[in-house]
Amino acid sequence: MSAASTIRHDWTLSEVRELLNLPFNDLVFRAQQAHREYFDPNEVQVSTLLSIKTGACPEDCKYCPQSGHYNTGLGKEKLLEVEKVLEEARAARSKGATRFCMGAAWRSPSKKDLPYVLDMVREVKSLGLETCMTLGMLTPEQAGELSEAGLDYYNHNLDTSEKYYSHIITTRTYQDRLDTLANVRQAGMKVCCGGIMGMGEEEDDRAGLLLQLATLPDHPESVPINMLVKVKGTPMESVEDLDPFEFVRTIAVARILMPASHVRLSAGREAMNEQMQALCFLAGANSIFYGEKLLTTDNPEADADRELFRRLGIKPEALATNHTDDDEAAVLAAQLEQEKTRHLFYDAANS
């Protein structure tokens, strides 16, 4: 097998299975080696996620409290006003976030709503933040408009393997998701794409998802690895818990397969103790969402993340210096603000 840090797109299912079944210490050691060749092992990218339109989604994703197919007690909310989104983005920037992600519970953006979404992208980007959105499926034309507005990343998760996919979602196909990813790439945006662990899938399904991601023509720049958040009222509310070590193994294999990608420890952190999160960072996770909510589910609060970072000697990753924005003054101001926040996170660890 090739060196762990080599960027490949020709992985096989047997190779991924072999990695998942390595002795735990050997797997984590190999993942850490790959991680150190592409990233500072003591930096973690900090992002914030805001729901810009909540509830009443027509899709039937069995894990999702926002699906209109299930009664989870979640209220329907209209698309947020642009100024409200900007207010949240400024607050996220002041707390050290370098990327601001916006999610809408849609099958795909409507012609009526898309202009407001494009305004959100432009305005948030003018604050010097990287921008990311998840809006459902995109046509080539919609992807082009988002790219032209300056959207940096588009999130569209595959969720699970193609084999297991129909057990989770029936209202859109696996190919629909791959088509949206291709449209995003064609439009020149970066891709954020991962999946959800603990939905009753087999190990081979986790292997199949990772293989699909690692054999795309270009690896996703961000790979969110989510732990299922079981929500009452969804078909997944009583699914059996995934062994935490299996989750860490998935993080580690994602790092080995896609060594230059940010691997995001995403949904489900609220249920993880500090030791499990530390293991995930050791296994190659180097991105988190922070804040009280991830769309509609709980997430550790920012103060708890700061304290964990302090204890582990981790600091937030700085905003990329090649950030492209016409308003250079705004970008510089954002970088200075984020650098101050990085010191607030990190100084206590050296005191």
CB 191 within 8 A of CB 158: no
Q: Which two tokens stand for residue 328?
A: 């250079």
DSSP for 54-90, please give it. -S-BS---TT-TTBTTS---PPP-PPPPHHHHHHHHH
Cα–Cα distance for residue pair 260/276, rounded to 1 Å:
23
- Token pair 């905003």 is found at 319
**DSSP-derived pairing of the beta strands 287-289 and 43-53:** parallel
Cα–Cα distance for residue pair 66/73, rounded to 1 Å:
10
Select from 202, 269, 195 the least CA-distant residue to 242: 202
CB 334 within 8 A of CB 125: no
- Token pair 């010191």 is found at 343
Cα–Cα distance for residue pair 143/185, rounded to 1 Å:
9
* Positions marked catalytic: 57, 61, 64, 101, 132, 192, 264
